[in-house]
Amino acid sequence: MKTTTRVCIIGGGVVGCSVAYHLTKLGWSDVMLIERSELTSGSTWHAAGGFHTLNGDTNMAALQGYTIRLYKELEAITGMSCGLHHVGGITLADNPARFEMLKAERAKHRYMGLDTEILGPEEIHKLTDGMVNLDGILGALYDPLDGHLDPSGTTHAYARAAKMGGAEIVLHNRVLETRPTAEGWEVVTEKGTIRCEHLVNAAGLWAREVGAMAGVYLQLLPMAHQYLVTDDIPEIMEILKSGREFPHVMDPGGESYLRQEGRGLCIGFYEKPCEPWAVDGTPWNFGHELLNEQFDKIEDSVNFAYRRFPVLERSGVKRVIHGPFTFAPDGNPLIGPVPGLRNYWSACAVMAGFSQGGGMGLALAQWMIEGEVERDPRGFDVARFGSWTSPGYTVPKVIENYQMRFSVSYPNEERPAARPFRTTPMYEVFDGMNAVWGQQYGLEVVNYHALPDEPRYEEPSFRRSNAWAATKAEVMAVRTGVGINEVQNFGKYRVTGPRARAWLDRIMAGAIPKPGRMSLTPMLAPSGKIIGDFTVSCLSETEFQLTASYGAQGWHMRWFEQNAEDGVRVENISDARSGFQIAGPQARELLSRVTRSDVSTEAFRFMDVRPMTVGMANCLVQRVSYTGDLGYEIFTDHMSVRHLWDTLWPAGQDLGLKPFGMRAMMSLRLDRWFGSWGREFSPDYTPAETGLDRFIRWNKPADWIGKQAALAAKAAGPARRLASFVVDAAEADVVAWEPIWLDGTVAGFCTSGGYSHWTGQSAAMGFLPADRVVDGLEVEIEILGERRPARVVTAPLWDDPRMRA
């Protein structure tokens, strides 16, 4: 065993072997993989081996498609068999909501290059040889890529391909300790110490324990999962005689998945009475063992399966597989550079290893070698969970995710586990005002305030929900009087030091303002893709405040730390500084009543920032508004928030002051076509495509990150551009990812949408070919399987000159 290597990977499951292969594929041959036992020990060896592309995150779905297509390449490279069976997959819909969800997923697939289709009951009957009881089934989604494989053979194929590329694999070598060094890491093992530049934690069931060696808490939990394999079934044997195979069948209503296994069937369950395993840590001596059979926890699921698949009731059980798999709180993997540690990479919680392992290995290898990922990684980035998480949070969220793995996922759904957890000083006040809560990055955030005669609960729906009337009332209050909304859910950073301006000029692509002024600027990756959308406020030549998306704190702070330099200090003050925004035609009058500062139009211009005393609180006030109205953001320290509220609230009563939530905010911003982080602005897009290029200071002397790529993109011109649409919608508005039809073909997709309550129109934003974006262009947007007429609108739906006056 060598004692130095560029990359040391801990863990020999399918994910660790995939990372090793992809690193060598992309050009890094000095790679070592260490496994405490044999390859596939842990979860990989007892996996059911199914693979599918269906995923609500389009980037995850695309990477799952990559994973599945990779297997034939692995077989060709290594000469080994992955045991592939591309039998196709059928996901059943037993209620209207699930059928709408499948239609929406099919619509996404149109521009992703995935050849899926919606089936009716007759087609399901034919594809399954009549083995599915179709009582109550409305339809299904069919994906020809779905299938299953041999878990052990596939993992060894990854390992063989990695070794062919130069990687070394060392078995029976448990890691005892990891220590940071000036160059990277020391990995102390049973067979000696290895010095490496990069350390990858792909330890699967032991990822928590390996992470703890470096002082890292990884948000994952093993869950005990059970599936059954039947004896030979005559109906399956007849199918085999005809040269065919039985397809995968996912029955979300029964919490089960079914596939052929030899001459019988394999069926697994995501049962409600589930069991977290090894909550306090995975034993080091666990490996190729299975857990004891527990038929009682799947009894209801089995009975349901007997009704859906009657052939099962006539079949004997050959064996029961009951073993642990790791899950993150949202069910997605934990991949990428771990915040706060240099060259420490996570590759764990990939519970669907044979659907996602290839894509996750590719993403991590790209991240390590090229510094960024080809596709937007936010859905699986390890940094999406902050330092506020704990095992007390992770356990109930993982249990909830497991129980709801086959549940319908609604765009407006707010799941209840581990809530409320993080709250602001305003929680009790807004709760007493009929607040209906959502959460962002663990923080309770007001979605809307229920009207007096309405329930304090938003019904999950793909269509317009029961929040409609309350949201409209809040929109009208802002536009006609003045609204107030908490600004806690902004990410906020304090940048100080003698080189603060120079550092920001390098980090940000836009102008860095003069003292007392603000600017809007994108933050770019070296590729020129958007990794941040910021407001920069200059308080002095050595002090700045940055504001951005609250949920992006982990990503932003990691980027700041990776690009740190002497003479600059960056502090995350997101939870230390809070306050309110006030917006509407009466906003200036309200502010003038609570401060002695001059807030007249002449003294306090649009995009000015001033220190002010409001009531008794020292505040930082910015004249800017995301609603499109005359408005102000008023920041103060966390301890003064309640006083600030007690000052503003009574002063605005005769002005019509009303609280408003995020539902109203998202409606109001559409009137001005303001883009939203994570929708219109993300690492999938460039400034030229989204219109953020108008905020770039092209001629500033600083060599800002992404400059060369952005200049090249500017010279070439974008192939696609963000456009705005008015939609002839029925009872459902655009959410995101709906395909846009032009001239009979899918020419683009939506990024976000909703209803403009102020103008009485359904609105959407999305991408079209750049040369087709002209005012009045008629298109169709597919919403829940129905094409709805829409037209391009290049002017704002509403504009109030008081915003800038």
Give average pLDDT by consecutive 10-residue segment, the chain, 805 residues: 96 97 98 93 73 81 89 95 92 95 88 87 96 96 92 94 97 97 96 98 97 97 94 94 94 93 93 94 87 89 94 91 94 96 97 92 98 94 94 97 92 96 97 97 97 94 96 98 96 98 98 98 97 98 97 96 97 97 98 98 97 98 96 97 98 98 98 96 96 96 97 96 97 96 96 98 98 98 95 95 78
What confidence tens digit (pLDDT) does each residue in 348-392 have?
A: 999 888 999 999 999 999 999 999 999 999 999 999 999 999 999
CA angle 229, 233, 235 (to 5 degrees): 135
Q: Residues 796, 673: contact at Cβ < 8 Å?
A: yes
Which of 279, 290, 227 lies closest to 394, judged by CA? 279
What's the CA gap between 538 and 512, in Å, rounded? 8
What's the CA gap between 602 and 488, in Å, rounded? 29
What's the CA gap between 414 and 554, in Å, rounded? 22
296: phi then psi, degrees, rounded to nearest 5: -65, -35
Q: Residue 537 forms beta bridges with which residues?
A: 518, 545
Q: Residues 266, 258: contact at Cβ < 8 Å?
A: yes
Q: Residues 248, 267: contact at Cβ < 8 Å?
A: no
What's the CA gap between 542 and 536, in Å, rounded? 13
Amino acid identity for residue 14 in this structure: V
First to last CA, the chain: 71
For 520, other C-beta atoms within 10 Å of its C-beta total 17
Which of 167, 279, 161 lies closest to 224, judged by CA? 279
Q: Which helix (H) or strand (E) holds 667?
A: helix 662-671
What's the CA gap between 181 and 712, in Å, rounded? 38
Which of 602, 586, 603 lies closest to 594, judged by CA? 586
> How are the residues of the chain apportioned to helix, strand and coil, as percentages rounded to the nearest 5?
30, 30, 40
Whole-structure pTM over 0.85, yes or no? yes
Q: Residues 255, 301: contact at Cβ < 8 Å?
A: yes
- Give the pLDDT confidence score for residue 419 in this predicted structure: 97
Give me Rg for the CA atoms of the chain. 27
Q: Residues 732, 772: contact at Cβ < 8 Å?
A: no
- CB crowding 573-582: b at 16 or more within 10 Å, else e: bbbebbbbbb
Report helix, strand or coil for 488: coil
What's the CA gap between 46 and 226, in Å, rounded? 10
Kindly list the structural domains of the chain, giving each domain's residue range(s) and its CATH number in brackets, ordered by start. 1-82+149-219+330-387 (3.50.50.60), 719-803 (2.40.30.110)
Tokens found for residue 563: 């690009």
Tokens found for residue 397: 């969220």
Report helix, strand or coil for 580: strand
What's the CA gap between 524 and 527, in Å, rounded? 8
CA angle 536, 662, 606 (to 5 degrees): 35
- Give the pLDDT confidence score for residue 801 in this predicted structure: 83
Residue found under tokens 């909304």: 485
Q: Which helix (H) or strand (E) holds 189?
A: strand 185-189
For 529, other C-beta atoms within 10 Å of its C-beta total 23
Q: Residues 664, 581: contact at Cβ < 8 Å?
A: no
Q: Residues 531, 505: contact at Cβ < 8 Å?
A: no
Parallel, antiparallel, or unpaired: how do β-strands 617-622 and 609-614 relate? antiparallel
Which of 471, 2, 428, 435 lies closest to 194, judged by CA? 2
- Give the pLDDT confidence score for residue 45 in this predicted structure: 64
Residue found under tokens 């076509």: 673
Q: Residues 22, 31: contact at Cβ < 8 Å?
A: no
